[in-house]
Protein backbone atom coordinates (compact mmCIF):
# COMPACT_ATOMS: atom_id res chain seq x y z
CA UNK A 1 0.00 0.00 0.00
CA UNK A 2 2.81 2.29 0.35
CA UNK A 3 3.22 2.15 -3.34
CA UNK A 4 -0.41 2.98 -3.72
CA UNK A 5 -0.10 5.91 -1.34
CA UNK A 6 2.92 7.08 -3.21
CA UNK A 7 1.03 7.06 -6.49
CA UNK A 8 -1.89 8.89 -4.90
CA UNK A 9 0.47 11.52 -3.57
CA UNK A 10 2.05 11.92 -7.02
CA UNK A 11 -1.35 12.11 -8.55
CA UNK A 12 -2.35 14.82 -6.05
CA UNK A 13 0.84 16.75 -6.79
CA UNK A 14 0.14 16.61 -10.51
CA UNK A 15 -3.41 17.74 -9.93
CA UNK A 16 -2.14 20.55 -7.72
CA UNK A 17 0.34 21.59 -10.43
CA UNK A 18 -2.42 21.47 -13.05
CA UNK A 19 -4.64 23.43 -10.70
CA UNK A 20 -1.83 25.92 -10.06
CA UNK A 21 -1.26 26.35 -13.80
CA UNK A 22 -4.99 26.73 -14.33
CA UNK A 23 -5.16 29.10 -11.36
CA UNK A 24 -2.28 31.20 -12.67
CA UNK A 25 -4.11 31.43 -16.01
CA UNK A 26 -7.27 32.42 -14.13
CA UNK A 27 -5.32 35.05 -12.17
CA UNK A 28 -3.96 36.55 -15.36
CA UNK A 29 -7.42 36.50 -16.89
CA UNK A 30 -8.91 38.04 -13.73
CA UNK A 31 -6.25 40.74 -13.56
CA UNK A 32 -6.85 41.56 -17.24
CA UNK A 33 -10.58 41.70 -16.57
CA UNK A 34 -10.01 43.92 -13.53
CA UNK A 35 -7.89 46.29 -15.59
CA UNK A 36 -10.60 46.39 -18.27
CA UNK A 37 -13.24 47.15 -15.62
CA UNK A 38 -11.05 49.88 -14.11
CA UNK A 39 -10.74 51.52 -17.54
CA UNK A 40 -14.50 51.32 -18.05
CA UNK A 41 -15.06 52.82 -14.61
CA UNK A 42 -12.65 55.68 -15.33
CA UNK A 43 -14.40 56.38 -18.66
CA UNK A 44 -17.80 56.28 -16.99
CA UNK A 45 -16.62 58.65 -14.24
CA UNK A 46 -15.19 61.09 -16.80
CA UNK A 47 -18.44 60.99 -18.80
CA UNK A 48 -20.41 61.51 -15.60
CA UNK A 49 -18.23 64.49 -14.71
CA UNK A 50 -18.63 65.90 -18.22
CA UNK A 51 -22.41 65.44 -18.14
CA UNK A 52 -22.59 67.09 -14.72
CA UNK A 53 -20.52 70.05 -15.91
CA UNK A 54 -22.72 70.43 -18.99
CA UNK A 55 -25.85 70.25 -16.84
CA UNK A 56 -24.51 72.88 -14.42
CA UNK A 57 -23.55 75.10 -17.33
CA UNK A 58 -27.03 74.70 -18.83
CA UNK A 59 -28.61 75.57 -15.50
CA UNK A 60 -26.46 78.71 -15.21
CA UNK A 61 -27.28 79.73 -18.79
CA UNK A 62 -30.99 79.27 -18.11
CA UNK A 63 -30.82 81.36 -14.95
CA UNK A 64 -28.96 84.09 -16.84
CA UNK A 65 -31.58 83.91 -19.59
CA UNK A 66 -34.40 84.34 -17.06
CA UNK A 67 -32.62 87.28 -15.40
CA UNK A 68 -32.00 88.91 -18.78
CA UNK A 69 -35.64 88.33 -19.76
CA UNK A 70 -36.88 89.85 -16.48
CA UNK A 71 -34.54 92.83 -16.89
CA UNK A 72 -35.67 93.33 -20.51
CA UNK A 73 -39.32 93.13 -19.45
CA UNK A 74 -38.74 95.72 -16.72
CA UNK A 75 -36.98 98.01 -19.18
CA UNK A 76 -39.77 97.58 -21.72
CA UNK A 77 -42.40 98.28 -19.05
CA UNK A 78 -40.56 101.43 -17.94
CA UNK A 79 -40.15 102.53 -21.55
CA UNK A 80 -43.84 102.00 -22.30
CA UNK A 81 -44.82 103.77 -19.10
CA UNK A 82 -42.56 106.70 -20.01
CA UNK A 83 -43.99 106.88 -23.53
CA UNK A 84 -47.56 106.99 -22.23
CA UNK A 85 -46.71 109.61 -19.61
CA UNK A 86 -44.89 111.67 -22.25
CA UNK A 87 -48.08 111.81 -24.30
CA UNK A 88 -50.11 113.00 -21.28
CA UNK A 89 -47.67 115.64 -20.01
CA UNK A 90 -48.90 118.36 -22.43
CA UNK A 91 -52.28 118.19 -20.66
CA UNK A 92 -50.58 118.91 -17.33
CA UNK A 93 -48.65 121.77 -18.97
CA UNK A 94 -51.93 123.26 -20.21
CA UNK A 95 -53.47 122.98 -16.74
CA UNK A 96 -50.44 124.69 -15.18
CA UNK A 97 -50.55 127.50 -17.78
CA UNK A 98 -54.27 127.95 -17.11
CA UNK A 99 -53.53 128.25 -13.39
CA UNK A 100 -50.75 130.79 -13.97
CA UNK A 101 -53.04 133.04 -16.00
CA UNK A 102 -56.17 132.79 -13.85
CA UNK A 103 -57.84 135.66 -12.14
CA UNK A 104 -58.37 135.51 -8.40
CA UNK A 105 -62.18 135.69 -8.51
CA UNK A 106 -62.73 132.75 -10.89
CA UNK A 107 -64.27 129.84 -8.96
CA UNK A 108 -63.58 127.36 -11.74
CA UNK A 109 -59.83 127.94 -11.24
CA UNK A 110 -60.01 126.16 -7.88
CA UNK A 111 -61.37 123.08 -9.67
CA UNK A 112 -58.60 123.28 -12.26
CA UNK A 113 -56.05 123.53 -9.45
CA UNK A 114 -57.48 120.40 -7.80
CA UNK A 115 -57.33 118.51 -11.10
CA UNK A 116 -53.72 119.60 -11.66
CA UNK A 117 -52.74 118.54 -8.10
CA UNK A 118 -54.46 115.19 -8.52
CA UNK A 119 -52.66 114.69 -11.80
CA UNK A 120 -49.29 115.53 -10.15
CA UNK A 121 -50.03 113.05 -7.34
CA UNK A 122 -50.77 110.31 -9.87
CA UNK A 123 -47.49 111.01 -11.65
CA UNK A 124 -45.56 110.95 -8.37
CA UNK A 125 -47.18 107.65 -7.37
CA UNK A 126 -45.93 106.19 -10.67
CA UNK A 127 -42.39 107.38 -9.93
CA UNK A 128 -42.45 110.40 -12.23
CA UNK A 129 -40.62 113.41 -10.77
CA UNK A 130 -40.61 116.99 -11.94
CA UNK A 131 -37.08 118.33 -12.48
CA UNK A 132 -36.04 121.34 -10.45
CA UNK A 133 -34.08 123.37 -12.98
CA UNK A 134 -33.98 127.02 -11.83
CA UNK A 135 -30.64 127.85 -10.23
CA UNK A 136 -28.92 124.68 -11.38
CA UNK A 137 -26.09 124.45 -13.87
CA UNK A 138 -27.22 123.77 -17.44
CA UNK A 139 -26.94 120.06 -18.23
CA UNK A 140 -27.70 119.08 -21.85
CA UNK A 141 -28.71 115.60 -20.66
CA UNK A 142 -31.70 116.94 -18.73
CA UNK A 143 -32.20 120.48 -20.07
CA UNK A 144 -32.96 121.92 -23.47
CA UNK A 145 -31.92 125.54 -23.84
CA UNK A 146 -34.27 127.74 -25.81
CA UNK A 147 -32.42 131.01 -25.15
CA UNK A 148 -29.24 132.48 -23.70
CA UNK A 149 -29.91 135.73 -21.90
CA UNK A 150 -27.82 138.13 -19.88
CA UNK A 151 -28.73 137.93 -16.19
CA UNK A 152 -27.52 139.97 -13.27
CA UNK A 153 -26.19 138.05 -10.28
CA UNK A 154 -26.26 134.68 -12.02
CA UNK A 155 -23.18 132.88 -13.31
CA UNK A 156 -22.96 132.04 -16.96
CA UNK A 157 -24.27 128.57 -17.80
CA UNK A 158 -26.89 128.45 -15.03
CA UNK A 159 -30.62 128.11 -15.60
CA UNK A 160 -32.53 131.35 -14.95
CA UNK A 161 -36.03 130.28 -16.01
CA UNK A 162 -38.13 127.28 -16.99
CA UNK A 163 -40.43 127.55 -19.98
CA UNK A 164 -41.65 123.94 -19.80
CA UNK A 165 -41.04 121.53 -16.91
CA UNK A 166 -38.98 118.41 -17.46
CA UNK A 167 -39.84 115.02 -15.99
CA UNK A 168 -37.86 111.92 -15.01
CA UNK A 169 -38.86 108.32 -14.41
CA UNK A 170 -36.24 107.07 -11.97
CA UNK A 171 -32.96 108.04 -13.60
CA UNK A 172 -34.41 108.19 -17.13
CA UNK A 173 -35.36 111.54 -18.62
CA UNK A 174 -38.87 111.34 -20.05
CA UNK A 175 -38.91 114.92 -21.23
CA UNK A 176 -36.10 117.46 -20.87
CA UNK A 177 -36.93 120.81 -19.32
CA UNK A 178 -37.09 123.75 -21.73
CA UNK A 179 -35.01 126.42 -20.01
CA UNK A 180 -33.53 129.88 -20.38
CA UNK A 181 -29.81 129.98 -19.62
CA UNK A 182 -27.71 132.88 -18.32
CA UNK A 183 -24.90 134.19 -20.55
Say yes or no to pLDDT of 163 above 80.
yes
Give the DSSP H/E element, type plus range, for residue 128. strand 128-130
Instruction: Render pLDDT for 28-40 as a digit per residue (tens, 0 to 9).
Output: 899 999 999 999 9
Same domain, 2 and 84: yes
pLDDT averaged over the chain?
87
Is residue 163, in this structure, part of any structural domain at all? yes
Say yes or no to pLDDT of 3 above 80.
no
The domain of 24 spans 1-90
Is residue 135, in this structure, part of any structural domain at all? yes
User: CATH number of the domain that 183 lies in?
Assistant: 2.30.22.10
> Of 6-10, 83-87, 149-153, where does mean pLDDT reach its minimum?
6-10
Same domain, 2 and 50: yes
Per-residue pLDDT, 67: 97
Instruction: Render pLDDT for 63-92 as a digit per residue (tens, 0 to 9).
Output: 999 999 999 999 999 889 989 999 999 999
Is residue 13, in this structure, part of any structural domain at all? yes
What angle do the packed helices 2-100 and 108-125 form, to 10 degrees? Answer: 160
Give the DSSP H/E element, type plus range, for residue 32. helix 2-100
Is residue 47, in this structure, part of any structural domain at all? yes
Handedness of CA 148, 140, 135, 156 (dihedral sign): negative
More reliable by pLDDT, 171 or 16: 171
Per-residue pLDDT, 123: 92
Amino acid sequence: MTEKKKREKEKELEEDKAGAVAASGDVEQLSAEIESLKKQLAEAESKTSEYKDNWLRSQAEFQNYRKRLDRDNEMMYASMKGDIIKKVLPVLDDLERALQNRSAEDAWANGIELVARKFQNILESEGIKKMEAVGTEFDPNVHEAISHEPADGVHSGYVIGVVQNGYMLGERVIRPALVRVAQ
